[in-house]
């Protein structure tokens, strides 16, 4: 259920549904263990995948609108997590808007130079000395999983970020250290431009602070957690919030009343 109905004329113009991944499309609770030594790199990651039922619903919905999963995760994991919905109108937007997989082609939305990666690498060495769970392998973001918000992470970034071009986002599970200009919202803007879709034709759903810009960029913003991420619309009831919204769109977009 939604807290209130989305006006029909807005629903009718929709061309793109954007869903956050963790907490919206799959349950939260990624487990990461990582170890580095002089000669070895070892990583173990456990994460949820989209259910068959939800995948079926999204695949049906794609007859009407494009579906984009926008996540902080690395594209490699998204491809595994969302394998059941790949192709035919699914877009995977990875690493908080950095990359999009569109029709089998990868678009990189922001520019990086070597210095950026050197800074991140130096920060990583400092952060590994803290009591964190592990670093999630990513291409453009330094993502550190921790049981609680460690103030030392902010201090390390402040010290190493000489040009003041980075920001730190804590989402309750992990710190994302990334360029200030990068956000899911900025990534969505570039994607909409690429697809020639306007904000009025876009509906987006998120559940945490890293989805704030995403909801602002889309014409219709829906929250999966109205306390953590206030929005005009939010979902209520049992089940994955993304599935509740997709079901709502299915019921309304495919009802004879609108068609």
Question: Footprint of Mg ion on this chain (CB under 5 A)?
Answer: 20, 22-23, 207-208
Looking at the Cβ atoms of 73 and 160, the one nearer to Mg ion is 73
Looking at the Cβ atoms of 57 and 169, the one nearer to Mg ion is 169
Please count the other Cβ atoms lying within 10 Å of the Cβ belonging to residue 2: 14
Chain residue at closest Cβ approach to Mg ion: 23
- As measured in angstroms, the least distance from the Cβ of 117 to Mg ion is 26
Dihedral in degrees, nearest 10, Cα atoms 45, 91, 51, 239: 100
Looking at the Cβ atoms of 20 and 136, the one nearer to Mg ion is 20
Q: Which of 82, 73, 76, 89 is nearest to 55 (CA)?
A: 82
- Residues in contact with 173: Cβ distance below 8 Å, sequence separation at least 6, in sequence order: 22, 28, 30, 145
* Residues 123 and 137 sit within 8 Å (Cβ to Cβ): no
- As measured in angstroms, the least distance from the Cβ of 208 to Mg ion is 5
- As measured in angstroms, the least distance from the Cβ of 103 to Mg ion is 25
Looking at the Cβ atoms of 208 and 212, the one nearer to Mg ion is 208
CA distance 200 to 40: 49
Looking at the Cβ atoms of 123 and 169, the one nearer to Mg ion is 169
- As measured in angstroms, the least distance from the Cβ of 206 to Mg ion is 6
How far is CA 31 from each of CA 56, 102, 147, 159, 248, rounded to the nearest angstrom? 27, 28, 11, 29, 31
CA distance 62 to 250: 10
Looking at the Cβ atoms of 138 and 208, the one nearer to Mg ion is 208
17 three-state secondary structure: strand
């Amino acid at each position: 259920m939604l807290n209130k109905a989305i006006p029909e004329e807005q629903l009718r113009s929709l061309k793109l549904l954007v869903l956050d991944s963790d907490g919206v499309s799959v349950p939260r609770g990624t487990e990461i263990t990582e170890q580095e030594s002089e000669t070895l790199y070892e990583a173990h990651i456990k994460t949820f995948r989209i259910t068959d039922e939800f995948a079926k619903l999204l695949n049906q919905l794609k007859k009407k609108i494009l579906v984009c999963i926008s996540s902080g995760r690395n594209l490699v994991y998204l491809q595994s997590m969302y394998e059941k919905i790949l192709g035919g109108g699914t877009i995977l937007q990875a690493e908080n808007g950095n990359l999009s997989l569109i029709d089998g082609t990868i678009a990189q939305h922001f520019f990086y130079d070597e210095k950026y990666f050197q800074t991140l690498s130096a920060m990583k060495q400092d952060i590994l000395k803290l009591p964190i769970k592990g670093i999630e392998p990513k291409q453009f973001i330094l993502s550190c999983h921790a049981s609680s918000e460690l103030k030392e992470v902010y201090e390390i970034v402040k010290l190493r970020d000489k040009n003041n071009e980075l920001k730190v986002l804590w989402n309750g599970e992990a710190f994302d250290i990334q360029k200030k200009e990068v956000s899911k919202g900025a990534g969505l803007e570039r994607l909409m431009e690429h697809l020639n879709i306007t904000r009025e034709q876009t509906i987006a759903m998120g559940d945490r602070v890293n989805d704030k810009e995403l909801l602002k960029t889309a014409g219709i913003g829906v929250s999966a957690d109205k306390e953590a991420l206030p929005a005009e619309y939010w979902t209520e009831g049992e089940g994955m919030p993304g599935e509740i919204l997709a079901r709502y769109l299915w019921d309304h977009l495919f009802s004879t009343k609108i068609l």
